[in-house]
Amino acid sequence: MNDYFSTFVAGFEKTVEKRLPIDLFDVKIAGVMEGLVVYETSLHAQRVGGLRYLNNSFFLLRTYEHSSLEEAALFMLKDNILKTQIINKIKRVGKSFRIIFSNENKIVSFDNKTTEIEKMLINAVRVDKANPDTELWFIKRREGAVYLGLRITRPGSSDKHLQKGQLRHQIAHLLCLLSEPSKDDIVLDPFAGYGAIVLEMVLCFPYKKVMAGEKDKQVFRLLQEKLKSKKNVVVGRWDATNLSSLTNGSVSKIVTDPPWGIYSNKEDVGEVFYQRVLEEFSRIMIRGGLAVILTGQKSALEKVLNNIDKFILLEKCDVLVSGKKAGVYKLKKL
Ligand SMILES: C[S@@+](CC[C@H](N)C(=O)[O-])C[C@H]1O[C@@H](n2cnc3c(N)ncnc32)[C@H](O)[C@@H]1O
């Protein structure tokens, strides 16, 4: 068995805890904290690193309970067994590394400790601060412990190619998971934007048909282009508050991320908007269908939900998306 820890979008703790045993059959979860899961499995690191709902995954090398980052670095520097372990693990992942210190999700610098640790390892493995194969992370958590891990997911930001407002595939994957995908699903994302959710659905999950729509002409064209070769995928240009091209009871799952009202001041995304959107969702969905909605407008959606008797709220999680507070709502059509 190998020890690992992985980070994920904070707020999805229950989803990750439920899903991990399905993907890693022998997993033993040691703890789930906000945005972090610690576990062991005999499965290969490549398999762990390939789980698309996890942000970053690491070999867990040590846990230093109730320690500061500096204390953890000192413990590490004195530990010769650990030194050999780290060198062997770096060689499993690649040839070069760099050291990162993180304090409650913020990268901090400890130049003197970084230099000492680099010196300790330099004879066996190469330091590359710009483009390393892996990273040695000291992660100090709010709960008190420092986790020392070697990164198995490749360094380098996956956000580089994202368009404004486009979701990272990790959160799109978690939203799809919440919708309990099945091979008979007729899935709809009526606010598809650049298509992160539909692309993830098509790439990773079973479905019968996927429909994606978008109001903005330019964004719609890009979406159409991206989805043109995908099987059983239909793209529409529409206003999602009036989905007259879709018949009553024709959709089993909706997974969507409506506008947040931050990129365009023309967007009115308050209660009137959500009232219309939920009325339309209710009309086009089958009984028992599931809608998973990610929104930055929690109070508007919640007010409408309180006054509408067509859905029940199955699950709600508060999440942080690109540093912004948002909510994920899983609704069942009655
Ligand atoms: C938050 S973005 C979705 C981003 C998408 N999840 C992605 O990853 O690319 C919301 C999208 O809804 C579109 N939109 C805004 N109002 C709309 C409406 N009434 N009907 C359909 N689309 C709308 C916006 O143009 C924007 O592309």
Kindly tell me if the per-residue pLDDT of 304 is higher than 70.
yes
pLDDT of the residue at 319: 96
pLDDT at 157 over 70: no
pLDDT digits (tens, 9 = 90+) for 29-53: 999 999 999 999 999 999 999 999 9
Average pLDDT of the segment spanning 99-104: 97
Q: What is the pLDDT of residue 267?
A: 66
Q: How confident is the model at residue 322 (pLDDT cuts 50, 70, 90)?
A: confident
Comparison of pLDDT for 64 and 323, the residue scoring more: 64
CA 17 to centroid of ligand 1, rounded, Å: 30
Q: How confident is the model at residue 154 (pLDDT cuts 50, 70, 90)?
A: confident
Burial 1-40 (b: 16+ CB within 10 A, else e): eebbbbbbbbbbbebbeebbeebbeebeeeebeebbbbbb
User: Region 300-327: what's the mean pLDDT?
Assistant: 95
Q: Please give the mean pLDDT across all residues of the chain.
A: 95
Best substitution site from 179, 191, 217, 241 to test ligand 1's pocket, by max atoms within 8 Å of Cβ? 191
Q: How confident is the model at residue 120 (pLDDT cuts 50, 70, 90)?
A: very high
Residue 186 has pLDDT above 80, yes or no: yes
**pTM > 0.85: yes or no:** yes
Q: How far is the CA of 220 from the centre of ligand 1 (A)?
A: 9
pLDDT on residue 265: 58
Ligand 1 centroid to residue 260 C-alpha, Å:
9
Span 255-265, average pLDDT: 84
- How far away, in angstroms, is 259 Cα from ligand 1 center? 5
Q: Give pLDDT, residue 323.
A: 86
Pocket of ligand 1 (CB under 6 A): 165-167, 190-191, 193-197, 213-216, 219, 239-241, 257-260
Q: Enter the tokens of residue 166.
A: 């486009």
3-state helix, strand, coil split of the chain in percent (to 5) is 30, 30, 35
- Asked if the model's pLDDT at residue 302 lies above 80, the reply is yes
Q: Which atom of ligand 1 is nearest to the CA of 216?
A: 25
* Span from the CA of 166 to the centroid of ligand 1 (angstroms): 9
pLDDT at residue 161 is higher than 90: no
Name the residue at shortest CA distance from atom 25 of ligand 1.
Answer: 216
313 vs 156: CA distance, rounded Å? 38
User: What is the chain's alpha carbon radius of gyration, rounded to the nearest angstrom?
Assistant: 22
Which atom of ligand 1 approaches the CA of 190 most closely? 21
How far away, in angstroms, is 243 Cα from ligand 1 center? 14
Largest distance between two CA atoms of the chain: 68
Output the pLDDT for position 266: 58
